[in-house]
Structure 1
Amino acid sequence: MTERLYYTSDALEGTARVLRCTEQADGRYGILLDRTLFHPQGGGQPADKGWINGVAVEGVKQQDEEVIHLLAQPLPLGEVELKIDADTRELHSQLHSAGHLIGYAGEAAGWQPVKAHHWPGEGRITFAPGEEAAEPEIAIFTDAISRWQSASLARVITFEAGRRMVRFGELSAYGCGGTHVRALGELGEVVISNIKVKKGQLIVNYTVA
């Protein structure tokens, strides 16, 4: 099992130990660490970028309870230095936090979030209808998000029955393994680019400026 330091820490640099280095089918090397700062691809969020001992991390994936870091060259067993690409982490965190806010606003309008995709240039939240759901206007989302941002609600992380929960201020918590801004004042402008209802589901496309 890999200890996921990013669950509770915003650190962008640290150390870990290489426990295993295995050549992959594509010629790259899968590095297993005892703990990691790198968020793997999954949960609607792309993987972090960065370096291990100065070697670029080309991908990060989850295999059961392990996090595998993909590098172009092998690393020896033992202690290594980790460094996260700060700009990429910031963007991914902003997109994921914005997705949660869209989820909150959609719920207030009678829709239930069922799927999220927090990728740069592809952000979208998919909702299933509640009993009295009607297609909302973009202002329903932007007005609510602006209020929460103006209050700069702080991120709150808790664990319930071993599951990581994330919320902002007193808003409801979502089960989530992703990275987020520390407070909504760090979010930037959330731009809702399109809203549509397709096959009974509401799809909200968004980005962060």
Structure 2
Amino acid sequence: MSEKLYYQDQYLGRFSSRVEKIEQDDDGKYFAILEQTAFYPTGGGQPHDIGTLNEVKVYDVEEIDGEIRHYIEEPINKEELCVGEINWDRRMDHMQQHAGQHILSAAFAEEYKYETISFHLGTELCSIDLHTDSLTEDEVIQTERMANLIILENRPIETKWVTKQEINKYKLRKELAVTENIRLVIIPEFDYNGCGGTHPRSTGEVGSIQVLHWEKHKKHIRVYFVCGRRVRQQLRTKHQVIQRLTKLLSAPQEKLEVVTEQMLAQMSEYEKQIATLQMEIVDYEATTYIEKAEIIEGQSVIKISSENKPMAVLQQLAKKIANLSSESFICIVNETSDKLQLVCAKGENLPINMNQLIKIVLPKINGKGGGNENIAQGGGEKTQSKEELFDLIVSTFFDMKN
């Protein structure tokens, strides 16, 4: 097994080691096994380190069957002494987030007896799942206050390897997942927790903790938060958004919510007015199209050609015409940039099933759709012109009628 230098010195960013072997996994990806390594492998909720081995990129690190595999973009020379460098910004970020999670989880347990049942360290946000079905803003504010107080006190973060027999000496926050090679991460007089991750030497290095939001997740509450450098990044990003919004809405930060609510209410009113006007247009167009109906073999046929119109509007138009003209067959073909759409409808006195009709027509344009006896719609590829599609629809209608 490789000697785990990250447990001896979590701040070690550069090291040398003998290469024990270079192999490929079942997917053909190259990996190196080293005599000793400072690269932390994925585990315990903490993602792996990245970096280089002899300037070859290390993009993944996993511990498999006791071996720490350093996945590399290309094989390195096994005979040479290997120089490894980890990406320090990523390592420090992970240490801040992981230690911050310990502090936040301990604060929730201390203040409200809410135990943490899972932890996720993402690339932008972190989250913990709390064993509770509700969480208030006051509880979050109080817990966050306690967590940041622990950080300001700059308490030491200690690690200790213990045996199963020695566990009873410590007030552990949760039950251990292992019985051998037990490693405790300790913030004296506050948190005692079994953990295999990397952490800074003191709580002060976490910088700060900020809870962003929380939500119901299954039967628990998922809390999203950031620590350290990510707090500053979140502040910077959100402030930039607010600055842009203040310019767009011509309102100061403290009035953005009120102005936005007013705009949404105004938009809702506009949408109602647009819907009313749209129905008036549909009524007018329906009457116009009925007057221009073709009589084919004694049958009233209304063909409507359109471009880039919403399907919902075309359906409303077809239904309106059918209600006003009980003997008419209505077929609408709408052309968009990449497909042909169709709507077929009938007056109540026609016996033809519109859903059956388009099921015959749509395969001709590699299309799909559906509906009912009175109206059906669908769309497909531009395998033919609009005129050809009209001819196909009308001929299919008369085939079914006869």
After TM superposition, the score normalised by the length of structure 2 is 0.49
Does residue 1:168 correspond to 2:187, yes or no? yes
Partner of 2:15: 14
Q: Residue 205 of structure 2 aligns to which amino acid in structure 1?
A: E
Does residue 1:120 correspond to 2:139, yes or no? no
Give the number of the structure whose residues are more often helix, by fraction.
2
Q: Please list every run of 5 or more consecutive structure 2 residues that lacks an aligned counterpart in the other structure.
A: 164-180, 232-402
Alignment of 1:21-170 (within 5 A): 21-78=22-79, 79-108=81-110, 109-129=112-132, 135-136=135-136, 137-161=139-163, 162-170=181-189
1:207 to 226, 245, 253: 226
2: CA distance between counterparts of 1:205 and 1:194? 5
The number of residue pairs the alignment matches comes to 206
Q: How many angstroms does 1:107 deviate by?
A: 0.9
Change (3 A) 1:180 1:198: same
Q: How many angstroms does 1:95 deviate by?
A: 0.7
Q: Residue 119 of structure 1 aligns to which amino acid in structure 2?
A: G
Contact 2:127 2:222 in 1 (8 A): yes
Q: How many angstroms does 1:7 deviate by?
A: 1.5
Q: How many angstroms does 1:88 deviate by?
A: 0.8
Higher RCO, Cα 8 Å, sep 6+: 1
Contact 1:148 1:184 in 2 (8 A): yes
Greater alpha carbon shift after TM alignment, 20-29 vs 155-164: 20-29
Partner of 2:5: 5
SS in 2 for 1:202: strand
2: CA distance between counterparts of 1:106 and 1:134? 13
Q: Residue 8 of structure 2 aligns to which amino acid in structure 1?
A: T
Contact 1:110 1:134 in 2 (8 A): no
2: CA distance between counterparts of 1:38 and 1:141? 33
Q: Which string of whole-angstrom CA distances, capped at 9 and with x for unpartnered residues, describes residues 144-192 of structure 1?
A: 1111011011110001122111122332221111111221211123110
Alignment of 1:186-197 (within 5 A): 186-197=205-216
Structure ID, larger Rg = 2
2: CA distance between counterparts of 1:14 and 1:26? 29
2: CA distance between counterparts of 1:103 and 1:180? 15
- Paired-residue identity, %: 27
Q: How many angstroms does 1:134 deviate by?
A: 5.9
2: CA distance between counterparts of 1:89 and 1:46? 9
After TM superposition, the score normalised by the length of structure 1 is 0.91
Q: Please list every run of 5 or more consecutive structure 1 residues that lacks an aligned counterpart in the other structure.
A: none
Contact 1:193 1:205 in 2 (8 A): yes
Give the number of the structure whose residues are more often strand, by fraction.
1
Greater alpha carbon shift after TM alignment, 147-156 vs 198-207: 198-207
- How much is the aligned-residue C-alpha RMSD, in angstroms? 1.8
Contact 1:27 1:72 in 2 (8 A): no
